[in-house]
Chains A and B, each alone.
Chain A
Amino acid sequence: MKKRPEHPPIVVVDTIRNAVRLVALEDDRRLSGIRVEQTLSDARAIHPNLECLQYDPHATMTLLKKVARWCERYTPLVSLSGRDSLFLDITGCSHLFNGEKAMLEDMFSRLNGQGFGVKLAIADAAGAAWAMAHHSSHDIAPAKSHQVILEPLPLHALRLPQDKVVELAQLGFKTVGSLIEVPRAPISARFGPEVLQRLDQALGQEDEVLSPFQPVAELVYEKRFPDPVVYEEDIKATIRLLAAKLVISLEQRGLGLRKARLQLFRADGDVVFLEVEASNPRRDAKQIAALFDERLSKLHDEWDAGFGFDIIQLCVLRSERLDAQQEDMVAHNHAKEAAMHLVDRLTARLGADRVQVFQTSDTHIPERRFNLAPAVHYAPEVKPYERTDLATRPVLLFERPELADVMAEVPEGPPIRFRWRRAHYEVVCSEGPERIACEWWRDGRTAKTRDYFRIETTEGYRLWLFRDGLYERETDAPKWYVHGMFA
């Protein structure tokens, strides 16, 4: 947190071990004698004029994730650790920022400029970097020499649980160095494998797997701007530029793009995401850029460019094999190709769940006969209809059957008159019942059998009604529903 000299110092508190304790405090000279984990009453005794804020783990995590996204400007491999740390795998990235020292300085000044107080460290192993950032004043460990830096650090630096640290301390192990010297077998036998595992990870003798916070892109192209860009035309031009570069790489690998993400890094630390999908693998710069254009024009009113974007990244999240010959063959079916382009453009702007195709499934329950699936993910399946009595199915089906007040001559007979949507209907003729049994393996034993009737009213409306439940066997007062409309 940045200093606010004219205000009382800020501390963040939370209830820990039945007392209100400090969780974090401002980096302020006035707060001498006050430390983390102190109870609030003790802290108030030293410094009565404290501004207290309640610790909100959810908000802290959200903020940390935002910072993690922002850190993707340095490397695509960013992972979260605990509630206050981030690991950045900068293997092969530092030369892009003129070396590790310059990279660290850049990161520090940018984060500090956003108002964060940060501690940064670079080491060969993730565990060592964590220990240095939390418990040491060193920031860059020279290659293969971090053991020297780690040795004087307290055991907390090994990311061990609190009770293990206390136990070890009671036996006289207070620093990392004291653990390195003693034989390994007794420690492992007494404290479990975790202690030595953490030690090895910190010393770089064991590999630590970092799981990235976001799925790692297959290909990333980025453009950095010395002055942030604000205008939509500039962003669109950048997308075209990046797409043109991307297409060359895709061509070399024989791939086509299916899903891509645009990351716009705002100069003040926010990151804006745009994801687009294509129904077929695409390898045409114009088409790829067009997908983003639709999204951008839709977002036009909603987003806020702030002070502008200083990095624009284009990431390929999913790609598929796309051979050059295949492209020629597809060109034959011009109409289908045009329709797929339409699906892509509509999906880019409206969302995948708004542009759908019908899929049929093998069931007799009418509302489960079909479902609508995103058109970008599923090519429509061509399934020949095996049914012969198609005339008994309506053109339009209600997603939820609508309740109707029905009068029937006999309880099990067809309806004679009914009221539906506040209107009264007289039945002129009816066909049925067509009995559709419930799917007990999905709905359980209480599900009811439906008797469907096709009826025609005096006005010529042809409707599909059903009685929910067999009379007397399943229910005493069966309800009637209107489920569809015939043409």
Chain B
Amino acid sequence: MARRENIVAALRQSVAKIDGTQERLAIQHGQRRLRIGVPAIDTLLDGGLVTNDMHELRCSLSRDISAAAGFLFGLFSGLDSNDDIAWICDPSAVLDSGRLFPDGLAHFGFDSSRLIHICPMDFNDCLWAAGEAAKTSGLAAVVLHLKGNVKAFDLSATRKLMLRAQSSQTPVFILRQAGEEEASSAATRWHVAPVQAVGDGIYNKGLGHMRLTLTLEKNRNGQTGQWTVAWNPQARSYEHVASTHSLLPFYPSADRQDSASKMGQIVALEKAS
């Protein structure tokens, strides 16, 4: 009997080797997962985000940062530890995004006394602080909130952070505000954008719950995809919703002057001299 199991296991190994999914099998056995709550996403990720790794969340515009931060705090409600969370923010990012608001975080069932808020003077200190935090095994998560694509935060810097996350079993999240896609060592990279939530089942007239378009842009161990999800504060998890795109596909500006351009885009300014 035992011999037969050994043979099966060996066969599985060799199939996985051919498939290139050996890493996935190894992961399935030992590692903890952070469930998102949407079955489609969780099956694609083999049960959720790997907790001892680095993940990146990005949004295209500065004003999308609240959606990305909201998504992150939604994820935190699925963490099984109640330890502290180190939130490291780049001073330039805070100018645009504002500060975390404890009352608003409580909406996600998050206790703000768990947050260690670290705001160094410059980005090099941010990187150092993130590295120190990622080395610490007593934290529930480490978040590095930065703005745009910083040169100092290149592939080797992300790899260093990822290796530390793996050795300390602490999940590290990169929250990239108004940033482009960039090669990194993160296990997954998500693009988050807010979606209008009018006409929610419960609130017919008022504002609905947080609704996001999640795009899995990079997945080290599998497929990518795009979903529209909504936050369910009662169940404290995400649920899949039919992707209803914006009710107004066009801007109603036919008889008015054109609207101002979106933020985060380059505007031609007059030369200083």
**A interface residues with partner B (beta carbon < 8 Å):** 334-339, 341-343, 345-346, 349-350, 354-358, 360, 366, 369-370, 372, 375, 380-383, 385, 387, 390-391, 393-399, 419, 421-424, 426, 428-431, 454-462, 484-487
Contact = CB atoms under 8 A, between A and B. Distances in A.
Nearest to B74: A487
A336 to B, nearest CB: 7
B196 A428 contact: yes
Contacts of A360: 102, 112
Given A337-B138, A428-B247, A459-B194, A397 B98 contact: yes
Contact of A462 (B207, B247, B261): B207
Contacts of B153: none
Interface of B: 63, 65-67, 69-71, 73-74, 81, 83-84, 86, 97-107, 111-121, 125, 128-129, 132-133, 136-139, 193-198, 205-211, 231, 233, 246-248, 251-252, 259-263
A366 B194 contact: no
Given A356-B117, A390-B103, A456-B196, A485 B66 contact: yes
Given A335-B138, A354-B120, A385-B103, A458 B194 contact: no
B98 to A, nearest CB: 4
Given A336-B83, A339-B84, A456-B198, A350 B115 contact: no
Q: Give the 4 A-B CB pairs with smallest separation, nearest first.
A: A487-B70, A338-B138, A485-B66, A335-B138
A179 to B, nearest CB: 60
B146 to A, nearest CB: 15
A423 B260 contact: yes
Contacts, number: 211
The A contact surface, by secondary structure, is: mixed
Contact of A383 (B97, B113, B129, B209): B113
A77 to B, nearest CB: 36
A115 B116 CA distance: 49
B101 A366 contact: yes
Nearest to A335: B138
Given A395-B100, A428-B247, A380 B113 contact: yes
A461 B81 CA distance: 31
B198 A429 contact: yes
Contact of B205 (A390, A429, A457, A461): A429
B103 A369 contact: yes
B92 to A, nearest CB: 14
Nearest to B101: A397
A345 B130 CA distance: 12
B231 A460 contact: no
Contacts of B105: 395
A384 B218 CA distance: 39
Contact of B247 (A342, A424, A458): A458
B66 A394 contact: yes
B138 A336 contact: yes
A53 B7 CA distance: 95
B252 to A, nearest CB: 7
B111 to A, nearest CB: 7
B118 A346 contact: yes
Nearest to B110: A395
A487 B73 contact: yes
Contacts of A454: 207
Contacts of A399: 98-99
Contact of A369 (B71, B102, B111, B116): B102
Contacts of B260: 419, 422-424
Contacts of B102: 358, 360, 369-370
A342 B100 CA distance: 21
A383 B69 CA distance: 23
B114 to A, nearest CB: 7
Contacts of A375: 116
B103 A393 contact: yes
Contacts of A385: 103, 106
Contacts of B252: 426
Contact of A424 (B112, B114, B196, B259): B259
10 contacts: A339-B136, A358-B113, A358-B117, A360-B112, A395-B100, A459-B246, A485-B65, A487-B69, A487-B74, A487-B194
Given A345-B132, A369-B101, A394-B101, 17 more contacts: A336-B138, A337-B138, A343-B116, A346-B129, A350-B118, A350-B125, A356-B117, A366-B101, A370-B101, A390-B106, A393-B103, A395-B107, A398-B98, A421-B263, A422-B261, A423-B260, A456-B207
Contacts of A387: 103, 106
B67 A487 contact: yes
B101 A396 contact: yes
B237 to A, nearest CB: 14
A393 B98 contact: no
Given A385-B106, A395-B70, A342 B132 contact: yes
Nearest to B259: A424
B266 to A, nearest CB: 13
Given A339-B83, A369-B103, A381-B113, A458 B98 contact: no
B153 to A, nearest CB: 18
A338 B133 CA distance: 10
A459 to B, nearest CB: 7
A486 B263 contact: no
Count chain A CB atoms within 10 A of each CB in B71, B117, B211 and give the residue with the most. B117
A381 B246 CA distance: 42
A395 B66 contact: yes
A455 B194 CA distance: 14
Contacts of B118: 346, 350, 354-356
Nearest to A429: B198
Given A354-B119, A459-B194, A485-B63, A382 B104 contact: no
Contact of A460 (B74, B83, B112, B246): B246
B120 A350 contact: yes
A370 B59 CA distance: 27
B99 A396 contact: yes
B104 A423 contact: no
Nearest to B204: A429
A370 B112 contact: yes
B135 to A, nearest CB: 8
Contacts of A458: 196, 246-248, 251
B73 A338 contact: no
